[in-house]
Amino acid sequence: MPILFNVAQLFILVVLLLFVLDILILFIGKNKLQAQRILPDKLSNGDKNIIQIHITNNYSIIIYCSVIDEIPVQFQIRDFELKLKLHPRKRKSTSYQLKPTERGEYHFGSLNIYTSSIIGLVAKRYTFDSDAMVPTYPSFKQLRKFELLNINHSLQDYGVKKIRRIGHTMEFEQIKEYVLGDDLRTINWKATAKKNTLMVNQFQDEKSQPIYSVIDKGRVMKMLFEGLSLLDYAINATLVISSIALKKHDKA
């Protein structure tokens, strides 16, 4: 029994020494940990948005971090946590994704980081005042996606097809020499007589036409599909259509 008692005393003494050592390691010195949350200027509704966190370890030892970010209440995420291992005098970056499902203002709170050493008996909390508000707009990421598809001529993969225009609803642009494939009905006989070669009228699509997007805001449009309301889907589609109209020099 005396041997067991001595072993227990020694164990308690070692634990106390490690506890004190852990406190000294973590709490002596200021600004031993620096962190910053990087937010986009705006969030894209219905899309995954990347939130970045940069952490700098000014300790001379390896530390283990538990990152708890106060994300907006709209996401209803109560168990958010990131586990990181930071090497001494090094900076590390990590990120996570948020997918908003409604438009409006999203408020971020403080950035909390709990640090511990390899001993693991004590944890020190760092709180960084990172309060910020980020607006959420209709899906501008989908807008960019369709713009890139249009450049790469890949819109047909998404069901977008060219439709033959009926009639001549175009504006006159210039007179040019006839080349094989030009519409014979556009031959300019007066210019042909002057130049002594076939000349044709070249037309371009009519511009500056007013284009209106009408969205139904009825009760049915409040129904959800994959977390996003039908109204938001309609707004996102309208954004794409209006952007195309503006690039074609129409009025949207």
Secondary structure, 3-state, 166-203: CCCCEEEEEEEECCCCCCHHHECHHHHHHHCCCEEEEE
Which residue type is seen at 197? T
Contact 86, 72 (CB under 8 A): no
Which of 48-52, 94-98, 195-199 shows the lowest mean pLDDT across its residues? 195-199
Q: Is the pLDDT of residue 169 over 70?
A: no
Domain count, the chain: 2
- Give the tokens for residue 44: 């894209």
78 vs 155, more confident = 78
65 is a domain residue: yes
241 vs 101, more confident = 101
Domain that holds residue 119: 2-137
204 is a domain residue: yes
Contact 91, 55 (CB under 8 A): yes
CA-angle at 206, arms to 201 and 209, nearest 5°: 165
| Stretch 161-174: mean pLDDT | 59
- pLDDT for residue 241: 78
Q: What span, in angstroms and rounded, lies between the C-alpha atoms of 39 and 47?
A: 15
238 vs 109, more confident = 109
Q: Say if pTM beats, i.e. exceeds, 0.75.
A: no
Residues 13 and 45 in one domain: yes
Residues 116 and 154 in one domain: no
Contact 221, 206 (CB under 8 A): no
Residues 41 and 155 in one domain: no
**What percent of the chain shows pLDDT beyond 90?**
38
DSSP secondary structure letter of residue 221? G
252 is a domain residue: no
Contact 35, 56 (CB under 8 A): yes
Q: What is the pLDDT of residues 68-121, one digit of tens each?
A: 999 999 999 888 999 999 999 999 999 999 999 888 999 999 999 999 999 999
- pLDDT for residue 166: 46
- pLDDT for residue 100: 93
CA-angle at 40, arms to 37 and 42, nearest 5°: 135
Residues 114 and 170 in one domain: no
Contact 29, 60 (CB under 8 A): no
Neighbouring-strand partners of residue 37 = 53
Q: Which of the listed residues 90, 115, 137 is the one where a domain comes to its end?
A: 137
Q: What is the pLDDT of residues 112-146, one digit of tens each?
A: 999 999 999 999 999 999 899 999 998 888 777 76
- pLDDT for residue 123: 94
Residues 67 and 93 in one domain: yes
Residues 24 and 123 in one domain: yes
CATH classification of the domain holding 33: 2.60.40.10
